[in-house]
């Protein structure tokens, strides 16, 4: 491709509203442009990378036996009504009407569409198992679109749906997808982990998220420093055992604590360590008030609270609700003498002579001993795991890393097949419900994640497997006839030998060309300069910065070798 007329506008300055490096570099190198908030256009270079990633995804999905389909972005709202999701999905679902005032939604995901197709066209166990996938545009009206294509409102997803006749069948389909995902992200040369995630069944293997390790990741991964254990901190169970101090119980005492609200304020005012403080948070669980207690050095895990109450809706109480149920201001809430349900994290049981709010403005209790001073309905694992906790698999200690979720595999079971009536006749002619799994990859998010992990101070550093082109052929001075002719000749011959070449034939200064070349970050630059007359060109390996002078007649062999080296 000739760069003179190629739409690859580069920017010198960092765009003001781009907070993270991948967003900055994708804009600066001319991969994408923003069309609206959370809505992006891909320019030619960006589209090529997207296609490379898509090709890898497609190959591995096909290898795993999945069949490609293409489902519509526009879906009738009744379908979502039928599955019961129209209300549940909330404002993230983009809705629209056609000219007859019929309601439609823009597909945020495609369980409904695919399940009805399979319901109507597959009747017998003989046609199962089935795994159908597509690579298609999704719409989600994210509350906070940000970080460029990492969290956008229109994005490209590979979504797959498996249909099986048994639980064992689902396990096999899931395993096949897990393996395909591992291959896909390995081929994209990403540093990633498959981590256990929230499916409700704590500690189960019913769902994994594929996380690219990165400091800008929105998820926190808890992993073991000794074993292969990794889980989203949202679900990682806490196995810690807590020692109860043997100090003798003191008498409960109410103390004045003017304007002392936060844990740190309480601990310095009363002069106790955070683990002596009983942090009390008021939640509405299925709209009923519940006081949740954790130690001052711990955090409540709302997913665990939700699971304790059988997947209830859990919402943090507002100032007004705190007033209504406890007649108290936020900051002074506590479990002594309340007539609402109180649950506590296991660690709270170890607090002796603790401190908590007194449900009165500017007042706390000290020397609180819960078995004496409060009624706790249940102790359970309700806190978020922390670094230094024992690993949930019993091996080693927990460490944290940040991750970007690029893929998600999930055992759905019969949620959609039941709601939408996707049944089959088994060997005995008996009607049974199909068992489903769903599997997503954020294709556009993967591109951003690759950039996040592959760049330096000068720009992008593409892994060879997803680079928009293999080579950047640069004629340093197009006014010099020898250089220009050699450039043209090499461009033609390299193309003929099936190298993917971006050819910088622009009448720009050398400095500009080299800066752009580093910014765009193709794996190898081939510069034609002063030594063109001797038939010598200069290679730069983008990743290592290594410079190699090469005779033109050896160029193709050297390029093959170098590309090969980079691919491994």
- Give residues in contact with ligand ATP (CB under 6 A): 109, 140, 142, 151-152, 155, 157, 405-408, 440, 442, 444-445
Q: How far is the CB of 281 from ligand ATP (least distance, A)?
A: 23
β 471-475/501-504 pair status: parallel
Identify whether the C-beta of residue 425 lies closer than 8 Å to the C-beta of residue 123: yes
Q: How far apart are CA 416 and CA 410, in angstroms?
A: 13
Give the CA distances from residue 328 to residues 322, 331, 427, in Å, rounded to whole numbers and listed in that order.
6, 9, 63
Whose Cβ is closer to ligand ATP: residue 68's or residue 264's? 68
Q: How far is the CB of 111 from ligand ATP (least distance, A)?
A: 10
Q: How far is the CB of 32 from ligand ATP (least distance, A)?
A: 13
Q: Report the first-to-last Cα separation within the chain, whole angstroms.
A: 26
Whose Cβ is closer to ligand ATP: residue 196's or residue 405's? 405
Sign (positive or negative) of CA dihedral 380, 385, 388, 391: positive
Spatial neighbors of 341 by CB under 8 A, at least 6 apart, are 288, 289, 290, 291, 377
Q: How far apart are CA 392 and CA 223, in angstroms?
A: 9
Whose Cβ is closer to ligand ATP: residue 135's or residue 490's? 135
Three-state SS sequence of 99-133: CCCCEEEECCCCHHHHHHHHHHHCCEHHHCCEEEE
Q: How far is the CB of 80 from ligand ATP (least distance, A)?
A: 15
Q: How far is the CB of 83 from ligand ATP (least distance, A)?
A: 15
Q: How far is the CB of 29 from ligand ATP (least distance, A)?
A: 19
Q: How far is the CB of 147 from ligand ATP (least distance, A)?
A: 9
Identify whether the C-beta of residue 434 lies closer than 8 Å to the C-beta of residue 162: no
Q: Which H or E element spans position 97?
A: strand 95-97
Q: How far is the CB of 109 from ligand ATP (least distance, A)?
A: 6
Q: Is 322 helix (H, G, I), strand (E, B) or coil?
A: helix
* Long-range pairs, 548-552, Cβ under 8 A, ≥24: 552/486, 552/490
Strands (E) located in 200-287: 207-213, 219-224, 230-232, 253-256, 278-285
Q: How far is the CB of 440 from ligand ATP (least distance, A)?
A: 3
Q: Partners of 380 in the beta sheet?
A: 345
Whose Cβ is closer to ligand ATP: residue 410's or residue 424's? 410
Q: How far is the CB of 417 from ligand ATP (least distance, A)?
A: 19
Distance of CA 352 to the CA centre of its chain: 41
Whose Cβ is closer to ligand ATP: residue 214's or residue 477's? 214
Q: How far is the CB of 159 from ligand ATP (least distance, A)?
A: 7
Spatial neighbors of 217 by CB under 8 A, at least 6 apart, are 211, 401, 402, 403, 404, 405
Whose Cβ is closer to ligand ATP: residue 209's or residue 389's? 209
Whose Cβ is closer to ligand ATP: residue 107's or residue 487's? 107
Q: How far apart are CA 24 and CA 10, in angstroms?
A: 11
Give the CA distances from residue 433 to residues 81, 170, 410, 419, 422, in Å, rounded to whole numbers and listed in that order.
20, 13, 18, 10, 6
Q: How far apart are CA 154 and CA 41, in angstroms?
A: 10
Whose Cβ is closer to ligand ATP: residue 219's or residue 500's? 219
Q: Which residue is nearest to ligand ATP (CB)?
A: 442
Whose Cβ is closer to ligand ATP: residue 406's or residue 537's? 406
Calculate helix-pair angle for 481-496, 555-567, nearest 10 degrees: 60
Three-state SS sequence of 193-209: EEEECCCCCCCCCCEEE
Whose Cβ is closer to ligand ATP: residue 66's or residue 471's? 66
Whose Cβ is closer to ligand ATP: residue 41's or residue 551's? 41
Q: Which H or E element spans position 459?
A: strand 459-460
Q: How far is the CB of 477 from ligand ATP (least distance, A)?
A: 43
β 39-42/67-68 pair status: unpaired
β 39-42/74-76 pair status: unpaired
Whose Cβ is closer to ligand ATP: residue 109's or residue 483's? 109
Q: How far is the CB of 124 from ligand ATP (least distance, A)?
A: 31
Whose Cβ is closer to ligand ATP: residue 352's or residue 401's? 401
Q: How far is the CB of 25 from ligand ATP (least distance, A)?
A: 17
H-type alpha helices, 154-210: 167-187
Whose Cβ is closer to ligand ATP: residue 42's or residue 155's? 155
């Amino acid at each position: 491709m000739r760069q003179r007329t190629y739409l690859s506008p580069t920017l010198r300055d960092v765009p003001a509203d781009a907070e993270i490096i991948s967003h900055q570099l994708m804009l600066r190198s001319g991969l994408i442009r923003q069309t609206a908030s959370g809505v992006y256009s891909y320019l030619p270079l960006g589209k090529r990378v997207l296609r490379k990633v898509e090709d890898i995804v497609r190959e591995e999905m096909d290898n795993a036996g999945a069949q490609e389909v293409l489902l519509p972005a526009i879906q009738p709202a009744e379908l979502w009504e039928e599955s019961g999701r129209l209300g549940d999905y909330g404002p993230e679902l983009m809705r629209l009407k056609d000219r007859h005032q019929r309601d439609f939604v823009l597909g945020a995901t495609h369980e409904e569409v695919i399940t009805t197709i399979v319901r109507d066209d597959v009747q017998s166990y003989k046609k199962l198992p089935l795994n159908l996938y597509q690579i298609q545009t999704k719409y989600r009206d994210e509350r906070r679109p940000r970080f460029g294509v990492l969290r956008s409102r229109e994005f490209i997803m590979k979504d797959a749906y498996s249909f099986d006749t048994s639980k064992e069948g689902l396990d096999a389909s899931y395993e096949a997808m897990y393996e395909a995902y591992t291959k896909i992200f390995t081929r994209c040369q990403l540093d990633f982990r498959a981590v256990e995630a929230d499916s409700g069944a704590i500690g189960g293997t019913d769902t994994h998220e594929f996380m690219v390790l990165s400091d800008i990741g929105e998820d926190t991964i808890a992993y073991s420093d000794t074993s292969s254990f990794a889980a989203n901190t949202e679900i990682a169970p806490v196995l810690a055992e807590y020692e109860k101090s043997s100090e003798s119980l003191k008498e409960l005492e109410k103390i004045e604590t003017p304007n002392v609200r936060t844990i740190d304020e309480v601990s310095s005012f009363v002069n106790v360590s955070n683990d002596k403080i009983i942090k009390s948070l008021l939640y509405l669980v299925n709209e009923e008030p519940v006081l949740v207690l954790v130690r001052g050095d711990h955090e409540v895990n709302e997913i665990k609270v939700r699971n304790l109450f059988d997947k209830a809706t859990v919402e943090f109480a507002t100032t007004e609700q705190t007033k209504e149920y406890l007649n108290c201001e936020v900051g002074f809430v506590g479990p002594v003498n309340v007539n609402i349900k109180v649950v506590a994290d296991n660690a709270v049981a170890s607090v002796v002579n603790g401190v908590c709010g007194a449900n009165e403005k500017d007042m706390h209790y000290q020397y609180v001993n819960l078995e004496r001073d409060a009624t706790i309905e249940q102790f359970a694992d309700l806190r978020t795991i922390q670094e230094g906790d024992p690993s949930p698999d019993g091996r080693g200690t927990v460490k944290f890393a940040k991750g970007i979720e690029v893929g998600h595999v999930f055992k759905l079971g019969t949620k959609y097949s039941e709601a939408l009536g996707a049944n089959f006749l088994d060997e005995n002619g008996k009607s049974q419900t199909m068992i489903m799994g769903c599997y997503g990859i954020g294709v556009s998010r993967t591109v951003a994640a690759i950039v996040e992990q592959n760049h330096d101070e000068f720009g992008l550093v593409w892994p060879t497997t997803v680079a928009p082109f293999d080579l950047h052929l640069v004629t340093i001075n197009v006014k010099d006839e020898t250089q220009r002719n050699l450039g043209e000749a090499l461009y033609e011959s390299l193309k003929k030998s099936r190298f993917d070449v971006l050819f910088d034939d622009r009448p720009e200064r050398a400095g500009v060309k080299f800066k752009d070349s580093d910014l765009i970050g193709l794996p190898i630059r081939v510069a034609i300069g002063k030594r063109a007359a001797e038939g010598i060109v200069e290679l730069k390996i983008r990743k290592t910065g290594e410079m190699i002078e090469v005779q033109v007649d050896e160029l193709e062999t050297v390029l093959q070798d170098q590309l090969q080296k980079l691919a491994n």
